[in-house]
Structure 1
């Protein structure tokens, strides 16, 4: 049996364009680049994590042939962690970050962008089941799954690059 290559995780040209255009729009309209200033998981910035989640969400949509609104999916994925602070810094405001950051991200995103209902639901519900209220649309479910998948990879992958012997 032939082994699958990296191309199996490749987006179609149209979806790649959608992702690039949406990133450009969000950078122009708001503060998306501020996500580059703080780490999310391991050595992955919040910005890189958001790109990973958006890409993975689109890939899941294509791979599983799920009918979704691609633009809402991408915008919600790119903004799901738009909390704009470094949660690793010792600060009492960052306590319970996992529970609180969706609300902060949603507030920031609503201040900087015009969001539709699906985009709001993606941002607000991406931490299910840690936050016990489940997503209410398919786009939010996909981003929730992609977020967990990417977070796992970003957290575990660096451990395999550590040199155990000197």
Structure 2
């Protein structure tokens, strides 16, 4: 996430500042997430954008922001680490939940958000609207992070290409 808009949102910061101060959460910056982002930036993006949606709809912003931040609290490269018990999509929410429970007390809603944020890739149906929000925002952010640099390159290419075509027409 390139934007630091969340830093100016004092209401959001108040909900997550204790978690962001923890070395265990800061350590997420050491792990690549979707090729062009690190896991901490990804988690903040999911957390903040989910929080904004929850706030707009009068839902539980605290649970959404905090669980959104902790939804990928695991310390391995998911592209190279494999498990005998199932896929990364199935395993990592359980690992993240276990790690989050070591850091802070979690409400049942926060547990559901973390555990079911891979809904769609897994069959674990979210119990709360907040869980659906984090799951959908996580998908959106993953796609945006993965394809974002390619989109920028395409836009630059298109702009340059358009300028070149205009110049070619003017030269005729």
Would you say same fold, with TM above 0.5?
yes
TM-score of the pair, normalised by structure 1: 0.80
Match of 1:67 in 2: 58
Structure 1 CA distance for aligned equivalents of residues 60 and 45 of structure 2: 18
Contact 2:54 2:60 in 1 (8 A): no
SS of the aligned residue for 2:89 comes to: helix
SS of the aligned residue for 1:44 comes to: coil
Match of 2:143 in 1: 152
Match of 1:4 in 2: none
Contact 2:54 2:64 in 1 (8 A): no
| Structure 1 counterpart of 2:15, from 16, 22, 39 | 22
Match of 1:142 in 2: 133
What is the 5 A alignment of 1:1-166?
16-29=9-22, 31-62=24-55, 65-88=56-79, 90-93=80-83, 96-162=87-153
SS of the aligned residue for 2:33 comes to: strand
SS of the aligned residue for 1:122 comes to: helix
Specify the structure having the higher radius of gyration (Cα): 2
Equivalent pairs, count = 150
SS of the aligned residue for 1:31 comes to: helix
TM-score of the pair, normalised by structure 2: 0.77
Larger CA deviation: 74-83 vs 152-161: 152-161
Q: Which has the higher contact order (CA 8 A, sep 6+)?
A: 1
Structure 2 CA distance for aligned equivalents of residues 29 and 115 of structure 1: 16
Deviations 1:63-90 (A, max 9, x none): xx312111111001000111122223x3
Question: Cα offset for 1:143?
Answer: 0.6
Match of 1:7 in 2: none
Question: Cα offset for 1:148?
Answer: 0.9
Which sections of structure 2, spanning at least 5 residues, go unmatched? 158-172
SS of the aligned residue for 1:92 comes to: coil
Cα separation, partners in 2 of 1:117 and 1:87, compared to 1, 3 Å: same
Question: Cα offset for 1:53?
Answer: 0.5
SS of the aligned residue for 2:67 comes to: helix
Larger helix fraction of residues: 2
Question: Cα offset for 1:133?
Answer: 1.5
SS of the aligned residue for 2:91 comes to: helix
